[in-house]
Amino acid sequence: MKLLKFTAVMLLTLTFFDGCSKTTVDPYAEIEDVTRPKLSTYELNVISDKIYMNETSGNPEHLMFWSTNESFASLGIGHFIWYPAGQPKRFDETFPAMIQYYIDNKVEIPEWLKLQKDKGAPWPNRATFEHARNDKEFIELKYLLMNTKELQTQFFFDRLHDSIPEIVKYVAPERRQHVIDNYNALAKTQGGWYPLIDYINFKGKGIKATERYNNQGWGMLQVLEMMQPVQPGPLALQEFSRAATAVLERRIQNSPPENNEQKWLQGWMARTNSYATPLY
């Protein structure tokens, strides 16, 4: 398992980003190890099965889901978000990127899905979504998602890898090394990829202004910041689990009472507790 070596060079690059926000550069261009880390087939299988259970409880019907509390469809083993056209996008919309990932990886997908990628979800609301469950297109998409769990997990992993430079850019300069060191502690730990991959898929990067209560977010950035300094090994898993739990408890405390987010606490805690011990 190859580890990203981003310390000083990465910080230099990100400082350049801050000063020249309109300039496009590759944040990994000068890093010694530019090879994208690889997950073994075994790791992909184990992590994808776990994420599938986290999001669907093993029920294929929940691969395509639309919550009564939300304005978007949640699709796949990681419940990728897909907004209908015209819907405000409070959270990161990830399913169009997954469609493109299928295309880039030469996966045969329905033509209608390719055409719909940039138009928004084909269901304008939850009622239409539920009514479409027996439609040909709905069933085609469900089987595609069921049969590509490992590729979806690889997409999560690539998203994690690509997000770290962006996340670090949002950290105060004096805290950047802390965030990088905590990320690397997990990356160097046996079983450490599961909590990293699952959490960024579960609660996002933590950089969007719309993903905050009382100006406090709940994504990967906040967990890595919340962690105490830790060395690779079992303690890194335990500390990530503790920090993730604390960040989500803080989110609930900050949330508007009418949201009743306390109802999610038990499920969220079960998920973050699973990070504390190696999955494989």
Residue 32 pLDDT = 37
pTM of the predicted protein model: 0.83
Low-confidence stretches of the chain (pLDDT < 70) are: 1-36
Residue 13 pLDDT = 36
Residue 67 pLDDT = 94
Express each pLDDT in 151-172 by its tens digit.
999 999 999 999 999 999 999 9
Residue 22 pLDDT = 36
Residue 115 pLDDT = 97
Express each pLDDT in 62-89 by its tens digit.
999 999 989 999 999 989 999 999 999 9
Query: Phi, psi at residue 42, to the nearest 5°?
Result: -60, -45
For the chain, the domains span: 1-35, 64-149, 170-276
SS (H, E, C) the chain: CCCCCCCHHHHHHHHHHHHCCCCCCCCCCCCCCCCCCCCCHHHHHHHHHHHHHHHHCCCHHHHEECCCCCCCEEECCCCEEECECCCCCCCCCCHHHHHHHHHHCCCCCCHHHHHHCCCCECCCCHHHHHHCCCCHHHHHHHHHHHCCHHHHHHHHHHHHHHHHHHHHHCCCHHHHHHHHHHHHHHHCCCCCHHHHHHHHHHHCCCCCCCCCECCECCCHHHHHHHCCCCCCCHHHHHHHHHHHHHHHHHHHHHCCHHHCHHHHHHHHHHHHHHHHCCCC
